[in-house]
Amino acid sequence: MATVSLVAIVLVGLLGLTGCGDESGGGTDTLGGRLNGSGATFPKTFYEVAIYEFLKQHQATTITYSGGGSGKGRTDLQENVVDWAGSDGLVKDADRVKYKGGEFLYFPTVIAPITVAYNLSGISELNLSPATIAKIFQREVTAWDDPAIVAENPKVAAKLKGGITVAHRSDGSGTTENFTKFLEKAVGTNAGGAWKLKSGSTVDWPADTQAGNGNAGVSQIVKDTKGAVGYVDYSDAVATEMKFAAVANKTGAYVTPTLAGASAAVEGAKINDDLSYDPLWADGAASYPITAPTWILVYAKQGTATQAETLRSFLLYLLTDAQKLADSVDYAAIPASLAARAVTQLDRITAP
Amino acid sequence: MTGSTAPPAPFTGRVGRADAAFRYATIAAGLVVLVVLGAIAVTTVRRALPAFDLMGFRFLTSSRWDPNADQFGAKAFLYGSLVASAIALVIAVPVSIGIALFTTQVVPARWRRPIIYTVDLLAVVPSVVFGLWGILVFAKVVPGFYDNIASAVHPIPGLRSLFGSSHGRSYMTAGVILAVMITPIITSLAREVIDTCSPSDREGAYALGATRWEMICGVVLPHAKNGLVGAVMLGLGRAMGETIAVALVIGSANNISANLFASGDALPARIANEWGEAEGNWRAALIGLAVTLFAVTILVNLLAAFIVNRSTAKSQGAR
């Protein structure tokens, strides 16, 4: 009896606190639940900002994002360790059966260019075609005055001199995966064959190249080494004030990496029914060809109604209001049409 | 002992039971270590099996590490771990033993404590601090030194291949930073071992007219020799397992080169770098690297235990 009355007192107390006549429980302030996430580090800054803003409005909810890499996010989701995973790449068909929670959905969130950053004194504009980038990163072109580079940069030909130091990521990374996918798509086996290292979150780089940990590590090498070149996420390249090359896109136009160029690339890409798409080497004269996508992966079937509702509201926020925050942290918002399709897909997140 | 005739009364009753309980408690404590070690070995080997099945012995003999093609050869990382650790020992051992001899044999007693504290302080600096210092400061200034050494030894055939061109991140850089990290450990163990040398032996040497140098060479070092080897082995164990500092400065290149100034990679560094993105066989292969490291570290520690045991037995035998 004592316990029952104690429970009653606590319940009355809680009602009194939340009270204010709101008995329906449908207001956003009553949103509860806890969403743990892990995965890609590339969109982490954006997710952190978005989570911070979202939780300001929903103080009873807990949302975390611990990063760790796309592979970790996917493995964690497979094992039901997290409720949502960030991933820069798609799940291979063979791996689908490993997902213990059954069917999962892709939600595209933001995009960003990957820059080809370089350290050459006196040169502030550099044009590079995918074929030349492939030769540089495979160490087939090892000097800046190589005819291949000079031919693309007649204006600064006199200043192009010295050896090239190639910097790449030492850690497995979605950035490496997208950069190598771009090269494979533009000049790989099916497109001329200049790129031979295939694609993946790490590839078998030539031994006489330099490796740095994370975007910061690669930036460090490029900044410290005269004649160095490396691939760096746009936000890090901007933050560390790097110089980066204009890259030739599918139409042959040299495009400098900008958020607008990234958005143009998504406009030119074909969106599949599951909202997967490939903005690398996209059509369109204004498209920046090395544009990286990223997705959030969640299971369609959630354990409880609260969990499903919290997940839907958080994703809805990411796809709508949070898109306006993307610019401030150097990511590009996804096009409105794609965001609208993703919002429609939210209905497929259900609870038993 | 003189004058006493009756033997002491034997311990009985509760004391005997307490003894037995103590014995079982310590056996249990000892077994826990073995069980945990065994469990770690079994689970890691089991999770690494897909990679071992895939590669067989080529896991250790191949140097092709290409996750996209399902090729996992750890030879270059094993090589890098051994080379960087060897460089660390070559630098750290003379310095450590020097410091130990200095603090026990040379320095006046009132300066002894401050020096020991300073050296021990190095041991508590987190490894990531050494790593960041290495990458932001040390790796930036060394290429100049490396180039000077390389051009100085260029005419000498053997040394030419050992000291070539460099970018700063290399076996040598990693080795030097590891040397800084293991010096306090070796120093502190070496000091303890050297301290066990009895004053009467040392005074005996002086009485025979030996100089300090002759006393150290003739009495202290022979007495401490085996213990010192154990201290060095423990330092080697730490150097082999060090992850973050090495990951930051060794260069992360899948490379086997006799040139100590070239970039390479080490077992734990490769695991730390690639874990986040690895799935399937790749993940299994990284666990396989951990198993390899585990095996090498256990071998080193067994060797150390063996040498320390032998040295104890020998010094007791001499008494």
pLDDT tens for residues A37-55? 999 988 999 999 999 999 9
CB contact under 8 A, A204 and B279: no
Locus of tokens 């303890």? B192
Taking alpha carbons only, the member of B167, B188, B170 closest to residue B178 is B170
Model confidence at A23, pLDDT cuts 50, 70, 90, reads very low
ipTM score above 0.85: no
Instruction: Specify whether the CB–CB gap between B283 and B54 falls below 8 A.
Output: no
Alpha carbon of residue A38 to chain centroid: 13
Per-residue pLDDT at B312: 66
What's the rounded mean pLDDT across residues A302-307? Answer: 91
Domain annotation covers residue B46: no
Chain A CB contacts of B136 under 8 Å are: 220
Which whole-number Å values give the CA distances from A68 to A65, A331, B98, in the listed order?
9, 19, 43
What is the spatial distance between Cα A101 and Cα A299, in angstroms, rounded to a whole number?
6
Whether residue A229 is predicted with pLDDT greater than 90 in this model: the reply is yes
Task: Name the least confident of A23-27, A344-348, B294-298.
Answer: A23-27
SS3 content of chain B, % helix, strand, coil (to 5): 80, 0, 20
DSSP annotation of A156 reads G
Instruction: Give A-chain residues touching B65 at CB under 8 angstroms.
Output: 204
Please say if the pLDDT value at position A62 is more than 70: yes
**pLDDT score at A1:** 39
With CB atoms and an 8 Å threshold, state whether B254 touches A207.
yes
Classify residue B20: in a domain, yes or no.
no
Q: Does B273 touch chain A (CB under 8 A)?
A: yes
Question: Span A12-36, mean pLDDT?
Answer: 54
The mean pLDDT of A63-87, rounded to a whole number, is 92
- Whether B170 has its CB under 8 Å from any CB of chain A: the answer is no
Return the higher-pLDDT residue of B77 and B6. B77
Q: How confident is the model at residue A27 (pLDDT cuts 50, 70, 90)?
A: very low
Q: Touching check for B274 and chain A: CB below 8 Å?
A: yes
For residues A329 and A303, what is the distance between their CA atoms, to the nearest angstrom?
33
pLDDT for position B6: 62
The range of the structural domain enclosing residue B106 comes to: 55-318
Residue A16: pLDDT band with limits 50, 70, 90: very low
Q: What is the mean pLDDT of residues B206-216?
A: 91
- The helix or strand, by DSSP H or E, that contains position B66, with its residue range, turns out to be strand B65-66
The whole-angstrom distance between A209's CA and the closest CA on chain B is 7
Would you say residue B31 lies in a domain? no
Average pLDDT over residues A98-123: 94
Put simply, the chain B residues between 41 and 100 with a CB less than 8 A from any chain A CB are 64-69
Instruction: Verify whether the Cβ–Cβ distance A75 to B283 is below 8 Å.
Output: yes
Inside any domain, residue B50: no
A158 vs B316 pLDDT, higher one? A158
Q: Which residues contact A83 (CB under 8 A, 6 or more apart)?
A: A34, A35, A36, A37, A298, A307, A311
Q: Which residues pair with B66 in a beta bridge?
A: B71
Choose the closest CB to B253 out of A41, A199, A211: A211
Nearest to B253 among A173, A207, A225 (CB): A207
Q: How confident is the model at residue B151 (pLDDT cuts 50, 70, 90)?
A: confident
Instruction: Report the mean per-residue pLDDT for chain B.
Output: 86
- Contact call for residues A260 and A327 (beta carbons, < 8 A): no
CB contact at 8 A, A141 and A148: yes
Given this model, what pLDDT does residue A140 score? 94
A171 pLDDT tier (thresholds 50, 70, 90): confident
Would you say residue B22 lies in a domain? no
> How far apart, in Å, are the Cα atoms of A93 and each of A58, A99, A229?
37, 11, 35
**Could you give the percent of chain A with pLDDT greater than 70?**
91
Helix count and strand count (H, E) for chain B: 14, 2
Q: Where are the extended beta strands (E) located within chain A?
A: 34-39, 62-68, 84-87, 104-118, 127-128, 165-169, 210-212, 228-233, 243-244, 246-248, 254-255, 291-299, 332-333
Residue predicted with more confidence, B122 or A76: A76
* Model pLDDT, residue A14: 42
CB contact under 8 A, A71 and B252: no
| Cβ atoms of A89 and A108 closer than 8 Å | no
Q: How many domains does chain B have?
A: 1
- The pLDDT score that the predictor gives to residue A4 is 45
Using the Cβ of B174 and the Cβ atoms of chain A, whether some distance falls under 8 Å is answered with: no
pLDDT at A2: 44
- Residue B290, pLDDT > 70, answer yes
| Most confident region among B133-142, B219-228, B247-256, B266-275 by mean pLDDT | B266-275
Residue B28 lies in a domain: no
Is there a domain that residue B103 lies in?
yes
Which has more pLDDT, A307 or B156? A307
Q: Do A204 and B255 touch (CB under 8 A)?
A: no
Please check whether residue A170 touches B, CB under 8 A. Answer: yes
Q: What is the pLDDT of residue A13?
A: 43
The pLDDT, as a whole number, for residue A6 is 43
- What's residue A112's pLDDT? 93
Residues of A in contact with B247 (CB under 8 A): 170, 213
* Residues paired with A277 in a beta bridge: A271
Q: How far is B261 from chain A (nearest CA, A)?
A: 12
Q: Are A221 and A329 in contact (CB under 8 A)?
A: no
Which of these ranges, A64-68, A227-231, A239-243, B314-318, has the smallest mean pLDDT?
Answer: B314-318
A215 interfacial to chain B (CB closer than 8 Å): no
Residue B89 is part of a domain; what is its CATH number?
1.10.3720.10
- Max mean pLDDT range (A251-260, B62-71, B299-308): A251-260
Q: According to the model, what pLDDT value does residue B248 have?
A: 85
**Percent of chain B residues topping a pLDDT of 70:** 92
A213/B255 touch (CB, cutoff 8 Å), yes or no: no
Quote the mean pLDDT of chain A.
Answer: 88
Average of pLDDT values for B94-121? 89
CA distance A247 to chain B (A): 26
Residue A24 has pLDDT above 90, yes or no: no
Q: CA-nearest residue of chain A to B283? A: A71
Q: Which residue has the tokens 């100085």?
A: B152
Asked, for residue B25, whether it belongs to a domain, the answer is: no
- Least confident span in A187-196, A304-313, B39-48: A187-196
